Amino acid sequence: MTLKSSLKQGPGPHTEYMAEPDADRLAETLVAFANGDGGTVLLGVELDGTPVEGLLGDEMEEALRAALVQCRPPIRTEWEQMDTPEGTVAAIHVPRSTELHSLADGRVLIRSGAENHPLGGEQVRQLASGKSSGDFEMQDVAGAQMADLDQDVIKDYIARREEKQGRQIKLPQDRLLQQIGAVTADGNPTVAGLLLFGLEPQFFLPQSGLTFVRFSGTELRGPGGLPGYSRRDEITGPLAQIIERTWTILMQEMRLEAVVKGLRREERTEYPPIAVREALVNAVCHRDYRLTGRRIEIRMFDDRVEIHSPGGLPGYITIDNIVEEHFSRNPRLVNGLYHWNYIEELGLGVDKMIETMMQAGHPQPEFKATPHSFTVTLQNAKERETLTGSPAWENSMNERQLRAIQYMRDNGRITSRDYQDICPDVSPETLRLDMVDLTDRGIVMKVGMKRGTYYIMR
């Protein structure tokens, strides 16, 4: 972030305005930024962004030196200065640090909103545990080369980032990739680079895929202890493609509800799409990619969706403060997906999940954290408004089944080939299980055998 853009930002989680150099307050802010996701301190600026008259650059540099002396261990900073007609403004850029920092008096602070907050003993231990792992995202991957990055995916990222920013990126591609942490100074792909742009990220990082399982009913097991799932998909590729492919599956599997508002019939998905998408994106962004042998897993039951993410809560985040606080385990992945437009606003995913679930009449999302996993559960239980005069079963089918019913109403019957034509992106086995479900529930009747089989409405 440049000095000019910081002046327009206003005080917040990543920006601090200080009208007068204050070494003690500056030291607190340096520690808070370094312990979190980094930030910029603007010296010589009022809260409204107006430069202070008569402030000298030497005064600000002296305050910075006095502040740095109070930081344990030393904090790396970058200095930028700009002279304006009103006065001199300095920007002190503080990168996220892989170390735990404190003040000389022992206090450990973190940035929360536009303020610096001290952490308690347990929070400090949690933060120290998260910091001790080092910056895994920036590690280069043994055997990976630039040829292992997908140029089409990189071009898509650049185009969507330019569209989001409203301006062209002037940096050469290799410099941009290095700046965002996708490659090292030697041009070797990093963990973040492979996850964002890799041709086959799972070849190097097998744990980085996602497993989707659709269960029949509300339990993991079916009758007789047999596997109770009707669909299982292994989703691979770079993170943006994992999000898109998983989202397509989720929309296919979510049932539609028929509701009436006045004289209008509306169809709604059984879960608010925003809540489901935020839970998916959060899992992809914040899982602990150091943990091998486990992938993100999404389990869909008749009454709930569970999103299981490997790795406990990052840093000082707990179940109690998860709404108010924000800490990124993978800041480069988060930043990349934000500029790619998969994240609308940094740090607001949990808030949006809760808000949209409650607005739709569902219970609040349930959060469960262990030292090695984090689970979000979305319940679909609520009082449902049904279409007057319509069969109850119309409100308990997925989108594909509704298409099949409409096709039978229009054409009298449907064959397996017809069903494949109207749902071309779904596997034949999934479509077969759809028709078995409709047949078992007495909604449709199977007629004929083998190649001559077709289905009609009962």
Please say if the pLDDT value at position 208 is more than 90.
Answer: yes
Range 93-118 average pLDDT: 90
Model confidence at 385, in pLDDT bands (50, 70, 90)? very low
pLDDT at residue 383, as a whole number: 45
Asked whether residue 133 carries a pLDDT value surpassing 60, the answer given is no
Lowest mean pLDDT among 232-236, 241-245, 345-349, 407-411: 345-349
Residue 99's pLDDT is: 85
User: Of 70, 74, 64, which is closest to residue 99 (Cα–Cα)?
Assistant: 74
pLDDT of residue 296: 97
Average the pLDDT over 211-225 and give the result. Answer: 82
Evaluate if residue 4 carries a pLDDT over 70: no
The confidence score (pLDDT) of residue 156 equals: 95
Mean pLDDT of 104-117: 90
Whether pLDDT at 367 is above 90: yes
Mean pLDDT, all residues of the chain:
85
Q: Average pLDDT, stretch 378-395?
A: 58
**Kindly report the CA angle at 242 between 240 and 248, in degrees rounded to 5?**
105
At 384 the pLDDT is 43
- Looking at residue 266, its pLDDT comes to 64
Task: For the domain covering 397-457, report its CATH number.
Answer: 1.10.10.10
Domain 3-120: top CATH class: alpha beta
CA distance 401 to 104: 65
Residues 6+ apart with CB under 8 A from 123: 316, 318
Q: Is-cis flag, bond preceding 310, omega within 30?
A: no
Per-residue model confidence (pLDDT) at position 457: 79
Comparing 216-230, 243-257, 296-310, 409-423, the range with the smallest average pLDDT is: 216-230
Which residues 6+ apart lie within 8 Å of 117 measured at CB?
A: 32, 109, 110, 111
Which pLDDT score, from 0 to 100, does residue 162 have?
93
pLDDT band at 3; cut points 50, 70, 90: low
**Percent of the chain surpassing pLDDT 90:** 43
Task: Please list, in sequence order, all residues whose beta carbon lies within 8 angstroms of the beta carbon of residue 374, skipping any fewer than 6 positions away.
Answer: 286, 308, 309, 311, 312, 313, 367, 368
pLDDT at 114: 85
- The whole-number average pLDDT for the span 362-375 is 90
What residues does 39 pair with on adjacent strands?
Answer: 94
What is the pTM for the complete model shown?
A: 0.69
Rounded CA Rg of the chain: 26
Cβ-based neighbours of 199, under 8 Å, separated by 6 or more: 148, 149, 150
Domain residue ranges in the chain: 3-120, 138-201, 207-379, 397-457
Q: pLDDT confidence of 389, banded at 50, 70, 90?
A: very low
pLDDT, tens digit, 9 for 90 and up, residues 150-160: 999 999 999 99
Residue-level pLDDT at 86: 72
Q: Which residues make beta-bridge pairs with 258?
A: 267
At residue 261, the pLDDT reads: 54
pLDDT in tens, 270-295: 899 999 999 999 999 999 999 998 99
Percent of the chain's residues with pLDDT above 70: 88
Among residues 239, 235, 199, 210, which one has the least CA distance to residue 336? 239
pLDDT of residue 411: 81
pLDDT value at residue 392:
54
CATH topology of domain 207-379: Heat Shock Protein 90 (3.30.565)
pLDDT at 449: 65
Angle between helices 151-165 and 331-339 (to 10 degrees): 70
pLDDT for residue 387: 38
DSSP class of 304:
E
Mean pLDDT, residues 246-269: 75
Half-sphere exposure in the Cβ direction for 220 (13 Å, CA): 3
β-bridge mates for residue 189, sequence order: 183
Is the pLDDT confidence value at 228 over 80?
A: no
